[in-house]
Amino acid sequence: MLKSTSLSPSNGRLSDGCHNSMSSPTTPTSKSHQIPESANIYTAATPTESYPKLGKDYFRTSKDPMYEGANGIVRKGTDKTRMPTLVIKRIKRRDQTEEHYLKSVLMEYNTIKLCNHKNVIQILDVCYNPETSDFSLIYPYYAKGDLLDLMSNFRRFKIETSASLKDSVFKQILKGVNYLHSKNIIHRDLKTENCLIDADGIIKIADFGYALNLNDDSYIDYLKENPVEIYCGTNSFKAPELFELERKVHSEDGFDFSEFFHKVENMRYVDYWSLGIIYLNIYLMKSPWNNADLHDIKNMSFSKYVKHYPQDPSSVSRVIIDLNKSSSTFSNNPALSLFKGLHYDSRELILGMLHPTPEKRKSPKDVLNSEWMSQVYANPKDLISLLK
Ligand SMILES: Nc1ncnc2c1ncn2[C@@H]1O[C@H](COP(=O)(O)OP(=O)(O)OP(=O)(O)O)[C@@H](O)[C@H]1O
Ligand SMILES: [Mg+2]
Distance 211 CA to ligand 1 centre (A): 14
| 146 CA: nearest ligand 1 atom | 31
Distance 259 CA to ligand 1 centre (A): 33
- Give me the pLDDT at residue 33, please: 56
Distance 121 CA to ligand 2 centre (A): 12
Q: Encode pLDDT of 205-234 as tens digits.
A: 999 999 999 998 888 988 998 899 999 999
- Give me the pLDDT at residue 327, please: 85
**Does residue 288 contact residue 257 with C-beta atoms inside 8 Å?**
no
List the residue whose alpha carbon is closest to atom 12 of ligand 1.
Answer: 67
Quick check: is 189 catalytic?
Answer: yes
CATH number belonging to domain 147-385: 1.10.510.10
| 68 CA: nearest ligand 1 atom | 26
β strands within the chain, DSSP E: 58-60, 67-68, 72-79, 86-91, 125-129, 134-140, 185-186, 195-197, 203-205, 212-213
Measured from the CB, is residue 206 less than 6 Å from ligand 1?
Answer: yes
The average pLDDT across 120-144 equals 96
Q: Where are the domains of the chain?
A: 11-140, 147-385
374 Cβ contact list (under 8 Å, min separation 6): none
Average confidence score pLDDT of the chain: 89
**Does residue 20 contact residue 187 with C-beta atoms inside 8 Å?**
no
**Does residue 111 contact residue 211 with C-beta atoms inside 8 Å?**
yes
- Give me the pLDDT at residue 18, please: 45
Measured from the CB, is residue 195 less than 6 Å from ligand 1?
Answer: no
Distance 295 CA to ligand 1 centre (A): 31
Distance 142 CA to ligand 1 centre (A): 10
The amino acid sitting at 282 is I
| 92 CA: nearest ligand 1 atom | 26
List the residue whose alpha carbon is closest to atom 16 of ligand 1.
Answer: 207
Distance CA 87, CA 38 (A): 17
Distance CA 260, CA 258 (A): 5
The amino acid sitting at 185 is I
Residue whose C-alpha is closest to residue 165's, from 387, 388, 381: 381
Global pTM exceeds 0.85: yes
pLDDT cut 90: percent of the chain above it: 76
- Give me the pLDDT at residue 40, please: 66
Measured from the CB, is residue 193 less than 6 Å from ligand 1?
Answer: yes
Site to substitute for ligand 1 among 90, 152, 196, 200, most atoms within 8 A of C-beta = 196
Q: Encode pLDDT of 35-93 as tens digits.
A: 544 456 888 889 999 999 999 999 999 989 999 998 899 999 999 999 989 999 999 98
- Give me the pLDDT at residue 34, please: 53
Measured from the CB, is residue 310 less than 6 Å from ligand 1?
Answer: no
Confidence class of residue 3 from pLDDT cuts 50, 70 and 90? very low
Measured from the CB, is residue 60 less than 6 Å from ligand 1?
Answer: no
- Give me the pLDDT at residue 379, please: 92
pLDDT at 13 > cutoff 60: no
- Give me the pLDDT at residue 297, please: 87
Q: Encode pLDDT of 262-320 as tens digits.
A: 999 999 999 999 999 999 999 999 999 999 999 998 889 999 999 999 999 999 999 99
DSSP string, 123-172: --EEEEETTTTEEEEEEE--TT-BHHHHHHHHHHTT----HHHHHHHHHH
Q: Encode pLDDT of 335-374 as tens digits.
A: 999 999 999 999 999 999 999 999 999 999 999 999 999 9
Catalytic annotation, pick one of 125, 189, 198, 207:
189
CA–chain centroid gap for 311, Å, is 27
Confidence class of residue 10 from pLDDT cuts 50, 70 and 90? very low
Q: Is the domain covering 11-140 a CATH 2.30.110.10 domain?
A: no
